[in-house]
């Protein structure tokens, strides 16, 4: 499984709602719930974002148009520290090289390559997702990259041509998109991507800052390494347990996340944890907060779903290597 920040899903859902599509319909089948959209620390699986994109596509008439309009909403700030790294790069060449190096920190599903042809360099995009969903994704990814170039150069007039192998969709007006991008758009081209990059590659960028670029790239590198160790399924289960209540069973959680208990068990095992461990983490995290209040142990036990205070005390000690009473005394010192 591959995971990413929920930011891109937030952008997609916001756009869809503006088009008159209900949030519930946009999230259908993704295993995501509306409450998670407000959590900027939330992680999602790539297939969950693709499901949301597919729901958007199924409720629109022109995937190409939707891809264009949606792609224009991905600004440098959407990419977190990587956006700052791109902005602080000394030249466009450095920014492109950095972007390709840390592509896994972006929201693209397309493959991107920098290709030299005669006297020009082109940035080429390909997407192996079939059908209209693949078309929407490809166009979104290309327009998102075009927005990055526009913001890096802080210019609405770049000598770049954005080209597509497909014919221009009927009834699609390009003037607003051209104005927003500051670039020409061509259809029926030999490849999907950008051409005309060569004159821009070694121009100094307006906000170039070597020290900032080094610092941001170091953080990008750290994020890329950490990405292999993220445990987003466990976090998803924790968030859902808090949302549904501590009395929710593993079956309840699995059903809410649109997967089987077997699948959920396997995903938690891959993250070297279990349903019991995740549930205990939530329970005893809340217990530590409640123990700082005057609430009686029996009342805390009942609130956390234990049969009685003794059962709660035994379980708390097993998990924390200290009794609730001892924890309460230490916390008051």
Q: Mind listing the pLDDT tens digit for each residue in 94-112? A: 999 999 999 988 999 999 9
Same domain for 127 and 106, yes or no, is yes
Same domain for 71 and 209, yes or no, is yes
pLDDT at 158: 72
Residue 148: count other Cβ atoms within 10 Å of its Cβ: 23
pLDDT at 117: 74
> 297 near 313, Cβ under 8 Å?
yes
Of the two residues 176 and 57, the one the predictor is more confident about is 57
> 54 near 9, Cβ under 8 Å?
no
pLDDT at 230: 62
pLDDT band at residue 145 using 50, 70 and 90 as cut-offs: very high
Average pLDDT for residues 135-155, to the nearest whole number? 90
Same domain for 115 and 188, yes or no, is yes
Which of 60, 77, 104 finishes a domain?
60
Q: Is the pLDDT of residue 118 over 80?
A: no
Same domain for 76 and 219, yes or no, is yes
Same domain for 74 and 223, yes or no, is yes
Residue-wise pLDDT tens digits, 205-219:
988 999 998 989 888
Average pLDDT, the chain: 87
Residue-wise pLDDT tens digits, 247-277:
889 999 998 888 888 888 888 887 778 999 8
Same domain for 77 and 148, yes or no, is yes
Check which CATH number belongs to the domain holding 314 and give it: 1.10.10.60
Total number of domains constituting the chain: 3
Those residues whose C-beta lies under 8 Å from the C-beta of residue 61, and which sit 6 or more positions away, are none
pTM above 0.85, yes or no: no
> 3 near 230, Cβ under 8 Å?
yes
Q: Distances from the Cα of 14 to the Cαs of 32, 94, 168, in angstroms?
A: 15, 32, 26
Token output for 252: 């309840």
Same domain for 292 and 152, yes or no, is no
Which of 60, 78, 101 finishes a domain?
60
Residue-wise pLDDT tens digits, 217-242:
888 888 887 775 666 788 888 888 88
Same domain for 30 and 3, yes or no, is yes
The closest alpha carbon to 90, from 98, 100, 101, belongs to 98
Domain of 307, in residue numbers: 232-332
Residue-wise pLDDT tens digits, 164-200:
999 998 888 778 777 777 778 899 999 999 988 888 8
- Collapsing DSSP states into helix, strand and coil, what is residue 126? strand
pLDDT at 17: 97
**Residue carrying the six token digits 């009342």:** 299
> To 10 degrees, the CA torsion angle through 147, 149, 153, 154?
0
Which of 177, 198, 227 finishes a domain?
227
> 193 near 122, Cβ under 8 Å?
yes
Q: Distances from the Cα of 88 to the Cαs of 50, 112, 215, in angstroms?
A: 31, 22, 10
Angle at 250 between CA 244 and CA 251, to 5 degrees: 90
Query: What is the radius of gyration, based on Cα positions, of the chain?
Result: 24
Same domain for 197 and 311, yes or no, is no
pLDDT at 333: 62
Token output for 243: 């949302």
Q: Tell me how far apart the alpha carbons of residues 113 and 122 are, in angstroms, rounded to a whole number.
A: 8
> 235 near 31, Cβ under 8 Å?
no
Q: Is the pLDDT of residue 280 over 90?
A: no
Q: Read out DSSP for 42-99?
A: -EEEHHHHHHHHHHHHHT-S-HHHHHHHHHTT--GGGGTHHHHHHHH-SBHHHHHHHH
Q: Is the pLDDT of residue 1 over 80?
A: no
pLDDT at 109: 95
Q: Distances from the Cα of 158 to the Cαs of 124, 144, 188, 190, 198, in angstroms?
A: 18, 15, 21, 21, 12
Same domain for 49 and 92, yes or no, is no
pLDDT band at residue 329 using 50, 70 and 90 as cut-offs: confident
Same domain for 115 and 173, yes or no, is yes
Q: Tell me how far apart the alpha carbons of residues 86 and 145 are, in angstroms, rounded to a whole number.
A: 12
pLDDT at 245: 83
Q: Is the pLDDT of residue 64 over 60?
A: yes
Same domain for 39 and 163, yes or no, is no
pLDDT at 257: 85
pLDDT at 62: 92
């Amino acid at each position: 499984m591959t995971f990413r920040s929920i930011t891109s899903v937030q952008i997609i859902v916001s756009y869809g709602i503006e088009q008159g599509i209900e949030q519930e319909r946009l999230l259908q089948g993704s295993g995501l719930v509306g409450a998670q959209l407000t959590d900027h620390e939330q992680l999602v699986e790539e297939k969950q974002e693709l499901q949301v994109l597919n729901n958007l596509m199924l409720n629109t008439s022109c995937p190409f148009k939707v891809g264009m309009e949606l792609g224009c909403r991905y600004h440098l700030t959407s990419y977190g520290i990587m956006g700052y790294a791109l902005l602080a790069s000394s030249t466009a060449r450095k920014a492109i090289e950095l972007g390709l190096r840390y592509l896994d920190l972006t929201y693209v599903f397309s493959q991107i390559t920098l290709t030299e042809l005669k006297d020009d360099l082109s940035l080429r995009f390909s997407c192996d997702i079939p059908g209209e969903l693949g078309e929407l994704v490809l166009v979104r990814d290309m327009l998102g990259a075009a927005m990055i170039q526009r913001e890096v150069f802080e210019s609405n007039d770049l000598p770049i041509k954005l080209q597509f192998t497909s014919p221009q969709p009927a009834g699609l007006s390009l003037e607003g998109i051209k104005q927003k991008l500051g670039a020409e758009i061509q259809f029926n081209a030999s490849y999907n991507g950008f051409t005309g990059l060569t004159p821009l590659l070694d121009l100094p960028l307006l906000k170039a800052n070597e020290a900032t670029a080094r610092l941001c790239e170091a953080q990008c590198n750290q994020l890329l390494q950490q990405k292999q160790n993220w445990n987003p399924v466990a976090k998803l289960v924790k968030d859902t347990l808090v949302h549904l209540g501590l009395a929710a069973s593993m079956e309840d959680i699995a059903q809410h996340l649109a997967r089987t208990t077997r699948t959920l068990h396997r995903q938690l095992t891959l993250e070297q944890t279990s349903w019991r461990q995740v549930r205990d983490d939530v329970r005893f995290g809340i217990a530590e907060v409640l123990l700082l209040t005057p609430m009686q142990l029996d009342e805390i036990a009942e609130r956390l779903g234990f049969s009685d205070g003794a059962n709660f005390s035994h379980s708390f000690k097993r998990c924390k290597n200290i009794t609730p009473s001892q924890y309460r005394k230490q916390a008051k010192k």
